[in-house]
Structure 1
Amino acid sequence: MTMVIAQNLGNSLIMTADRRISNTNHLGEVIGISSDDYKKIKIINNKYIISFAGRLDVAKKAFEFIDEKINTINNYMDPDLFFKKAFNYGKEYYEENFPGEPLSVFYLGYLKQKEPKLIGFSSDDNYNGIEVKGTIKRNSKSLDDEKIFINETIDFINDEISRRQHYYKFPRNLAELFSKAIKRVDDVMIGDTTYSVVLSQNGIEEYYH
């Protein structure tokens, strides 16, 4: 499981995700933790950033495709189409090699004519991307539980921002807040180490908490 928070701030993009990789059995129960240092946000050519939640093997294979084919991205009318192909490549690999559903979501961020774009992709519709303003994602077996969780997390973030509005105008501080929101989740599959990436016209900044 992964928890990821992504936000289009109007002049920049920020993504924060936990760094835990857990091992599960065929019932989805945690049987061990393999890492608390895995980056679930990928920086590509200092131009694109991608975060993911869901099946790790889907993401790994998609990122392999991206690393090998990124020099062909200009052949596509829209960069989203290139990344959609990469995500489906990872999904197809998973379906051929593993049991179960290749459930996964990706969030793509980049600047288009100096304007930040945040696009969400889901395996549910073969990664037909849709632009979003912001998102909080944590895989859950229950949609009702997921909605309650997301609303509670949004309330926590908004309450913190209302107390220190000037402080959280800065993306670096907002990354710290998103990290706090992730760390307060009581779930063995979500770690207490996080990684954030901010993309703006000034470039890319990385933060570890």
Structure 2
Amino acid sequence: MASSTPNISPSAQGLTQFQGFWIPSRIAPISSIISFQKYFQALDEDIIVASKPKAGTTWLKALVFTIVNRHSYTLSNTPLNFTNPHQLISHFEIKFYKENPNPDLSKIPSPRLFSTHLPYPMLADSIKLEDCFEMFCRGEESYGPFWDHALGFNNLKDLEINKTGKMPRSIIPSNKLFFRSGKVGDYVNHLSPTVVERLSNILKEKLSESSLTF
């Protein structure tokens, strides 16, 4: 991948635009991303959990680790009982290539488990909803713009390997801090009609040529 000159957002502390995306560079330094792009060599057996923040990544990591290691652990002795899933499936940009620009990953047992995405830190009280909304509309968010991120994966939906899997529906845990209310349309209780209309128009424009709807 060709690198580009980082552009720091004047309105969002800690966000740096790099190769068309806004990166939380205080957590994922641009240098670690460049090192990852330059040195990482994927293996056919590698499993990479790739997602945006707050998209169920912690849960997905726990599921992936459990499936891959189902013959190695039981429910009573699985590391998930005492270890955060993020420690079991570490990030490229905030773990491996942040600690070492060219880490030796050859000793990791196959299939190697990796992830790429940063948990977004809690917003400071000084950042108002209106400011966050304006930033989102400009695409200034972790690994944003959102629509470009979503379309990149949506374009892979027709691959045969992505047509054969099924995801069972489960009851969402009662954890309102992480999942909020978990109700479709709850945004109307937090956003004004003007904000909702503008956001809807942006998504319609950006996703008009895809099958994605919101």
Q: TM-score, normalised by structure 1?
A: 0.28
More strand by share: 1
Higher-Rg structure is: 2
Which fold has the larger relative contact order, with Cα–Cα distance below 8 Å and residues 6 or more apart in sequence?
1
